[in-house]
Amino acid sequence: MPRCPLEGVLAGLLVVSSSAGAGQPRSFESQPEVYTEFGEVSGCGLGFDAAWRDDRTHTLGISGSVIALLIIQKDTVAVLVRATGLYDTAKTPLIYAWIQTSPYGKTTDFTVGPAEDPAGYMAFKASDPNAIMIPSMMAVKGFRLGVKFRGHPLENQVDLPPSRSAVTAVLQSCFNDLEKSIQTILHQ
């Protein structure tokens, strides 16, 4: 995923937080992702970079995105969850990652697929009209992220805040255009 690396962010985290359940982010950035094909919007997503400390004082970082994509060849929409992670500033493979939003719930029922990065994680779900709005729900309401790193026994969770209004506005515009593209495909 082409975004700024988290190494610098993670190296700068000196405050230790301890809590049961989900941690709180020490650093969080989100950005809208707009995908086009043949001059039409074919996907909308929310990319994010987050860093936090777990309750055992390890520094964790995730760079990820959740994308709703129109798959023209199959006349459907799929939602992808992609993530890569750092554990104590070292790139560490992810066993899994999930997103929880309201009202959708967790993405734990998504099908795991091959990630672009061998240390990364990718899962998808097609033909679920409720899943299409996950990126928007993440941006508007915030979300919980759960991850498990290879070689580390515990699942780590963090509650991430809503995105800035500028990010939400771009994402809303993208979804309006994506809806038009979907309607065009369905009525051909």
Tokens of 43: 């996907």
One DSSP character per residue, 101-168 reads ETTTEE-TTSEEE--SSTTSEEEEEES-TTGGGHHHHHHHH-EEEEEEETT--SEEEEEEPPPPHHHH
Beta bridge partners of 113: 122
**Distance (Å, whole) CA 135 – CA 64:** 12
Residue 8 has what DSSP assignment? Answer: H
- Position 106 scores a pLDDT of 97
pTM of the full structure: 0.85
- Position 188 scores a pLDDT of 64
Angle at which helix 134-141 crosses helix 165-186, to 10 degrees, equals 160
Q: What is the pLDDT of residues 126-169, one digit of tens each?
A: 989 899 999 999 999 999 999 999 999 889 999 999 999 999 99
**Distance (Å, whole) CA 69 – CA 76:** 8
Q: What is the pLDDT of residues 55-102, one digit of tens each?
A: 778 899 999 999 999 987 888 889 999 999 999 999 999 999 999 999
Q: What is the pLDDT of residues 3-48, one digit of tens each?
A: 434 444 334 332 333 333 577 899 999 999 999 988 889 999 999 9
The CATH class of the 7-186 domain is mainly beta
State the greatest distance between any 2 C-alpha atoms of the chain, in Å, as a whole number.
Answer: 57
Q: What DSSP element (H or E) covers 177?
A: helix 165-186
What are the CA-CA distances from residue 1 to residues 84, 112, 153 (Å)?
8, 17, 26
pLDDT for 185 beyond 90: no
Residue 18 has what DSSP assignment? Answer: -
Report yes or no: 173 and 37 within 8 Å, Cβ to Cβ: no
